[in-house]
Amino acid sequence: MKHVTIKDVAKRLNVSVSSVSRAFNDKYDIKKETKELILRTAKEMGYHPNPIARKLMQQKSYNIGVVVPEFINEFFSETIIGIQDVLISKGYQVLIMQSNEHYENELMNVKTLSDNMVDGLIVSLSRETHNTEFYLKLLAEGYPIIFFNRINDSLPASKVIFNDFKWSFFATEHLIKQGFKKIYHLSGQNHLSLAKNRMKGFQKAIEKYDMSPEENRVIETGLLMDEGDKITQELIDNQDLPEAFSCVNDPVALGAMRALKRNKIKIPEEVGVVGFTETRLADLVDPSLTSVKQPTYEIGKTTAELLLKQINNGFKTPETVSLDGQLNIRASSVRKTIA
Amino acid sequence: MKHVTIKDVAKRLNVSVSSVSRAFNDKYDIKKETKELILRTAKEMGYHPNPIARKLMQQKSYNIGVVVPEFINEFFSETIIGIQDVLISKGYQVLIMQSNEHYENELMNVKTLSDNMVDGLIVSLSRETHNTEFYLKLLAEGYPIIFFNRINDSLPASKVIFNDFKWSFFATEHLIKQGFKKIYHLSGQNHLSLAKNRMKGFQKAIEKYDMSPEENRVIETGLLMDEGDKITQELIDNQDLPEAFSCVNDPVALGAMRALKRNKIKIPEEVGVVGFTETRLADLVDPSLTSVKQPTYEIGKTTAELLLKQINNGFKTPETVSLDGQLNIRASSVRKTIA
DNA sequence: CTGTTAGCGCCTTCAG
DNA sequence: CTGAAGGCGCTAACAG
């Protein structure tokens, strides 16, 4: 438990502590043999530099804070893996905190982390976060922060996002090409840029194929399975069912499917469904769910790389990286008989 | 970006640094008014103690390392939340690493963490880990380590485990009470104590209800969905289908269900299924899956508390805490018509 | 190439 | 109750 220090090694070899230090930091001149000797005996003695002392000197914590809404969700855990892979390989440690979608928790987490002197921050905003004052203050101080996925357009920081517009367009286009005539978009709350963009992608596809925007409309639903279920049930009750649903995310799509199945409505024969941001669930449900796959690992990796760049080179002008995904077509949206 | 230090505060108030330090550490005598004055102006100036310097003094990192096989899996992410909740509230930071089920990664992670002077370690062993030498060495040095879930019985350390035997017994008993006559246990590899215990729980139930151990047998399957699917398909092909499956975990159960559904065999009317270690999936699949719920959050919490106790009070004798769960009965195992 | 010295920011005796 | 001084382990000038 007692740690060997640089002094112990120096004493043992009758050299100065600086020599030992130098042996462990290539950047200084030191005779090859002494260096090797030091390294060897240091290893024998079980010495290795105390990272905390080093951090104190360098005024760097080599800690990076990550704040996400949650990490039960596959999307975020996969992203975190990407973040960690990059950061750990560069000698950083990653401190992960979750806001549970609450602004207060998020703020507290960010404060805790900055109080702990993390060298940078990676943040995905909670659903509740409208007040971005604290981020603005940190950014003004030059604190490196990168946002991903749940972003706020107005923050002057670098961001990594998914091209929601484009892929929602493709998902909708796929439904149209499958011959579905009347399509509703079950959307998320409009203040989330992610939801807004998916909605716009849907509308763009409707427009492009000269379909009526009144008949192919948007219904604000939410992000949860129960919300998708509830809205779908209402549509069924009102005899207002479309031929297909383009959904803001997989939970809403699964909710819609649950309601449809409960009412013995066949998927995709009677109603087609596509989701967004697929999880492994997409393959497991019956019928399997067509969904847009986001490059989760890449998102994390890119975010971390952007952060490192900013830490090392200083803050230039914010850049926004937009990544692409893929549409995985499965049973829920493929008509057995195409008209 | 530039941090206010204890000196700045001292200078501003014309007091000594020690007074400022004392103001921030209740344990010393200091006049109430000066303390308040210091605290107030410190706050104004945006000062707060540099945790790194503090750590250097106290020879503590206030970091805890957590190594798990993975955290895409709900089980582990939920456990980690329990761990974090306890540890963060006590001023610790949690460094999470994953082994991806590989011994080498696990070893590297543990080394990285101990090199970074974590004050303690929480570990869930990878599937591959047979060699426990490094843990033995650390434990011998008095390094606080707690193991959970994936443990190795022979390690002289405290552990938090789930009572697999008992709950597998209950799951099987439930099937028996539902009137299923011929039950197979789809088990995991036998070298995992977790799989072994679930198998034994199954056998115990069969024994208790005087059912034939030849007819109600164990089939070594694995832990993956595809393995459950494959074995079930083989049983169907060989006309050797039981009336019910007790499965080592949910993926295997879901695999079995997939094979059954593909072959138009009705669940639970023709074949009942129960899983183990339920995920949110259990509720989503059709029919919903009966499974044993583990107290994931509690497991994490208990593990963290055990670790803190050991850090604060020193290592006494190892203790093993065994937690209980609950059997969530759903459609997959409930016979519409009970004999 | 190597040793000496002065901190990094804080805590903690030891005097007073 | 308060100040001065030493040191946690390491790095970075500065001499030599």
Using the structure, give the distance in angstroms from the CA atom of B27 to the C1' atom of C13, rounded to a whole number. 14
Task: Say how many CB pairs under 8 Å bridge A and B.
Answer: 80
At residue B338, the pLDDT reads 46
pTM: 0.90
In chain A, which residues fall in CATH 1.10.260.40? Answer: 6-49
Q: Looking only at Cα atoms, what is the longest distance across chain A?
A: 90
CA distance A12 to chain B (A): 22
Strand pairing class (A183-187; A244-247): parallel
| CA B96 – CA B94 distance, rounded (Å) | 6
Using the structure, give the distance in angstroms from the CA atom of A61 to the C1' atom of C5, rounded to a whole number. 25
At residue B2, the pLDDT reads 64
Whether the pLDDT of residue B299 is over 70: the answer is: yes
Length of chain A as a residue count: 339
Of A128 and B339, which is predicted with more confidence? A128
Mean pLDDT on A146-157: 93
Fold observed for domain A6-49: 434 Repressor (Amino-terminal Domain) (1.10.260)
- Local confidence band at A339 (pLDDT 50, 70, 90 cut-offs): very low
CB B274 within 8 A of CB B175: yes
In chain B, which residues fall in CATH 3.40.50.2300? Answer: 61-162+296-323, 164-294+327-333
Whether the pLDDT of residue B135 is over 90: the answer is: yes
CB A120 within 8 A of CB A307: yes
Of A61, A84, A284, nearest to B285 by CB-CB distance is: A284
- Local confidence band at B104 (pLDDT 50, 70, 90 cut-offs): very high
Whether the pLDDT of residue B105 is over 90: the answer is: yes
| Helices A103-115 and A133-140: angle between axes, nearest 10 degrees | 20
| Residue in A with minimal Cα distance to B74 | A72
Mean pLDDT on A218-223: 94
The string of pLDDT tens digits covering residues B244-286 is 999 999 999 999 999 999 999 999 999 999 999 998 888 888 8
Of B56, B84, B254, nearest to A53 by CB-CB distance is: B56
Non-local (6+) Cβ contacts of A124 within 8 A are: A67, A68, A69, A76, A79, A147, A148, A149, A150, A151
Strand pairing class (A183-187; A218-220): parallel
Whether the pLDDT of residue A223 is over 80: the answer is: yes
At residue A2, the pLDDT reads 64
Mean pLDDT on A224-229: 93
CB contact under 8 A, B53 and A53: no
Residue in B24, B47, B62, B72 to test binding to A, most A beta-carbons within 10 Å? B72
Q: Which CATH code for domain B61-162+296-323?
A: 3.40.50.2300
The string of pLDDT tens digits covering residues B39-49 is 898 888 888 88
Q: Does domain B164-294+327-333 have CATH number 3.40.50.2300?
A: yes
CB B276 within 8 A of CB B245: no
The string of pLDDT tens digits covering residues A73-103 is 899 999 999 999 999 999 899 999 999 999 9
Whether the pLDDT of residue B169 is over 50: the answer is: yes
Whether the pLDDT of residue A161 is over 60: the answer is: yes
Whether the pLDDT of residue A268 is over 60: the answer is: yes
Chain B residues with CB-CB distance to A under 8 A?
1, 3, 48, 50-53, 55-56, 61, 63, 71-72, 74, 77-78, 80-81, 84, 88, 93-98, 112, 115-117, 141-143, 254, 261, 281, 284-286
Mean pLDDT on B125-154: 91
Smallest CA–C1' separation from A6, nucleotide: D9
Chain A contact set for B1 (CB, 8 A): 141-143
For B25, half-sphere exposure in the C-beta direction (CA atoms, 13 angstrom radius) is 12
Q: If you search the block for the tokens 């269900």, which residue do you land on? A: B257
Q: CB under 7 Å from any atom of strand D: which residues?
A: A 3, 5-7, 17-18, 21, 24-25, 27, 47, 49-50, 53-54, 56-58; B 14-19, 22, 28-32, 34-35, 53, 56-57, 59
Question: What is the rounded average pLDDT for all residues in chain A?
Answer: 92
At residue B167, the pLDDT reads 97
| Residue in A with minimal Cα distance to B141 | A1
Whether the pLDDT of residue A338 is over 70: the answer is: no
Mean pLDDT on A149-176: 95
**DSSP code at position A333:** G
The string of pLDDT tens digits covering residues A285-335 is 888 999 999 999 999 999 999 999 999 888 778 999 999 999 999 999 998
